[in-house]
Amino acid sequence: MSLEPQLLLYTKPNCSLCVKAKADLKRVARKIPFQIQEIDITQDEALFAKYRHLIPVGELASSTSQKREMLFIYRVDPRKLQAQLRKELI
């Protein structure tokens, strides 16, 4: 079991905002380690219906509960993400 926070990244192929978000997430991960689980919404009808106009979407999977916190839609705010990750590590 990893102690690193896990971020679920909802994305789809040929999404330029998704490419930018992944690059931003990798930069943040160099400062505060966390796992990124990329989820292709085109592989699941329910996820596609929920997120098709919102991607990329980042959700933090809590290590202490089943609850997920939405961190961003469309763009990553590196400062806000770092603050939220630090809070998760406490």
Is 45 among the domain residues? yes
Domain that holds residue 64: 16-89
pTM of the entire predicted model: 0.87
In whole angstroms, give the CA distance from residue 60 to residue 26: 15
Is 3 among the domain residues? no
Is 43 among the domain residues? yes
Domain with 58 in it: what CATH number?
A: 3.40.30
Tally of domains in the chain: 1
φ, ψ of residue 61 in degrees (nearest 5): -85, 115
Residue position matching structure tokens 């931003």 = 24
Is 38 among the domain residues? yes
Is 11 among the domain residues? no
For residues 52 and 24, the answer to whether their CB atoms sit within 8 Å is: no
Residue position matching structure tokens 């933090």 = 60
Is 49 among the domain residues? yes
Is 34 among the domain residues? yes
Percent of the chain beyond pLDDT 90? 73
pLDDT of residue 63: 60
Average pLDDT, rounded, for the chain: 90
